[in-house]
Every structure is written in C-alpha cells, then in structure tokens.
Structure 1
Amino acid sequence: MTDATTEAILDATRASVLDFGIRRTTLTDVARRAGVSRMTVYRRYPDVDAVLRDLMTREFGAAMAEVAKDLPGDDGRERVLGHIMASVDVFRGSPLMSKIIEAEPELLLPYVLGRMGETQRAAVGLLIAEIGEGQRDGSIRPGDVRVMAQALLLVAQSFVLSGSIAEDVSPTALREELERIIAAVLTP
C-alpha cells in the first residue's frame, strides 16, 4: 500500500507523461506537480524509470482488478474469454498505454523481450486460477494451466501492443478474431 505522498508523485508522473511524454518528464517536474520537494521524490525514486515502473504497476494493476470484479459467463471458459477480451479493451483504451506505445514504445521492450513485469505476473496468476476453475467445470480443455495462461498472455499482449499495425482490417474484425483464437485455445 502506498501513502498519500507516493500517490501524489505517481499522479504527477502520469500527468507529466501524458502532457510531455516520458523523455521530457523529469523528477523536478514531478515534484512540482505533486507539490513536494525534489528530495522527497528522490528519497522514494532514484530516477524517472523507477517511478514509471511503479506508475505502470499501479495503473495497469488497477485496470486488471477492475476488469476481474464482475466476470461475465456461466462457466470458466466464458469467464476467461470475457476477462481477456475486457482486459485487451481496457489496455488498448488506456491513455497511459496509448501514450507509451505512440511516443516511446521502447519502454515496453523489456516486458516484451526480456522479463515479465508485475502486471504480467498478476495477469498470469489470475489466468491460472480462472483456467483451473474452467478445467474443473469441464468448460476448458485439460492441459498445463501455467502454459495455457502464459500463452494466452502472449497472445493478448500482442493485440494490445501491436493491434494498431494491422492494415486494412477494422478494429472490430480484429477483436472478433482474437475472441475466436482464445475460444479455440480453451475449448475442450
């Protein structure tokens, strides 16, 4: 749990990134926007990258939690499918994610090519639990839940990060195809 000062710093970072982008966001600007001293920011964060990691974890973790609240569906497969589709929609509609993809996509490279971030780990954890429930109710095919969860994360992540490069395809048609892919992976 973060305190009010950390929340103010994260809010200020978000505002600065949305206004100026990541490269032009400085801890001095963040401190000014947050109404705290630079030293207060530096005691919590050594650099902009560190505060940005916390911001992305907060923003994207909150989005995932919101999506997970009321999962539609009568069985596990429908809930997993609904959860993934709603998550893709939320992440594609996120102003912060859009700004990062548009202005500084290289910030995401470590999370695509090198290592999993906290939000990705949380997503896999949720998928593991949901897939397990679907396997128990018979609506999801047997298989290693960890492998299935990881594979589904990679597919969904590619639609969030790269969906805008699809040429001559409507976003609606692309979304419908993602839904078919996920359903095919899960169906017994």
Structure 2
Amino acid sequence: MPTDRLDEVLDATYDSLTRYGVRRTTMDDIASTMGVSRSAVYQYVRNKDDAFRKLAERLHSEALARARQAAAVDAPSAERIRGVLGAKLDLVLRLAGDSPHSAELLDEKARPFGDICHGFTGSLRRILIDLFAEAGTPAAVEPAEAADICIALVIGLESVPDGRDLFAPATDALLTGLLGIPVSTATG
C-alpha cells in the first residue's frame, strides 16, 4: 500500500508541476491535488524537493527500463539502437508536451534532480556502447564515440518542433554511417 500512496503523491506532484512549475508548487498544492492533508503527503516525501526528486527518478527509471528492453529484444542492431534512442526522445517530448514546466525535470543543472538526469544519460550511453561493440563500427569510430554521436543527435531532435518526425530519417542516416550497412525504417 505505501508504494501505491507514494505513486499518488508523485502523480499529484506531476500534476502540480504542469500547472505551476517547480518553484511555484507548494506542498499544499500537492496535498490539495490528492485531496488529503499536507501532513499525509509528508508521510511519503520529506518536502517538495524530495517529491520532485522522486518524481524525476520515477520518470527516468521508466524511460531507462524502456531503453533496456529495446536493447534486449531479438532484432537487428539498428532497431535495438533506435529503440534506446527513442526511449530518451519519448521522455523529453512527453514532458515538454505536457507543460512548459515539465521540462524542468530534465535539467541536468537543476539542484534537486540534475544527478538523476546525468545518470540517465550515462546509463543510456553505456547501453549504446555495448550495442555498438556487439554490432561493430567502422574502424574510424569507437563504440563510445558512436554512442556519443547518437546521444547528440537525440539532444538535437529534442530541441526542434518536428523532432519526432525527423527521428526515423535521422537515425537511418546516422546508423547507416555508424554501422557501415544500409539501415532503413521504411517498409517495402
């Protein structure tokens, strides 16, 4: 039961975040969204920074689980890599689409949860390095460099309005070069 209530607190925290942002959200906002007293919320989080930190941990953990699942499927390397990159892009676009405030949870420089964002990117990088090491890359590109290039591509796609539409052709072009084989998401 406590996990269910914590999930309710985090859902209410997210709802408050989308309306007010991190700085303007109060513990009263979270409690009011849940329909409980502020003291009831304090049973699950120490303060609003703790609530936002736990929320950021949950969202990043869910996206990392999707990335790990994509990396583990029995599919061609390009599809697995694309799945890992898609997990990162989906997280960012979901948060950015829900509210301009939601993207605050992605700021690696933010005090309450910057280390979570940094750790998430590092975990994705390690997954990608392993995938490129398994698939092989042209001699001029090390698996770590290929991982960094892919992450840079997704960061770029996160910042443009049609990033989701550009994802497939951009990853096709990039992976064709990094894997040294023709890659296409197009179906024939």
Give the TM-score taking structure 2 as reference length.
Answer: 0.67
Name the residue aligned to 1:26.
26
Aligned residue identity for 2:157:
F
% of aligned pairs identical?
A: 22
Q: How many residues align?
A: 175
Separation (CA, whole Å) in 2 of partners of 1:61 and 1:28? 27
Match of 1:183 among 152, 175, 178: 175
Where do 1:1-188 residues align within 5 Å?
A: 3-42=3-42, 44-70=44-70, 74-88=75-89, 90-94=90-94, 96-100=95-99, 102-103=100-101, 108-111=106-109, 117-138=115-136, 140-141=137-138, 144-160=142-158, 162-164=159-161, 172=165, 174-180=166-172, 182-183=174-175, 186-188=178-180
Question: How far did 1:123 drift?
Answer: 4.3
Evaluate the alpha carbon distance shift between residue 137 and residue 148 of structure 1 in structure 2; reply closer, same or farther with a 3 A threshold: closer
Evaluate the alpha carbon distance shift between residue 159 and residue 49 of structure 1 in structure 2; reply closer, same or farther with a 3 A threshold: farther
Q: Aligned with 1:117: secondary structure?
A: helix
After the TM superposition, which segments of 4 or more aligned residues of structure 1 sit over 6 Å from their partners?
A: none
Give the TM-score taking structure 1 as reference length.
Answer: 0.67
Separation (CA, whole Å) in 2 of partners of 1:119 and 1:43? 26
Q: CA RMSD in A?
A: 3.6
The unaligned stretches of length 5 or more in structure 2 are 181-188
Evaluate the alpha carbon distance shift between residue 116 and residue 24 of structure 1 in structure 2; reply closer, same or farther with a 3 A threshold: closer
Aligned residue identity for 1:55:
L
Separation (CA, whole Å) in 2 of partners of 1:182 and 1:131? 15
Question: How far did 1:8 drift?
Answer: 1.7
The unaligned stretches of length 5 or more in structure 1 are none
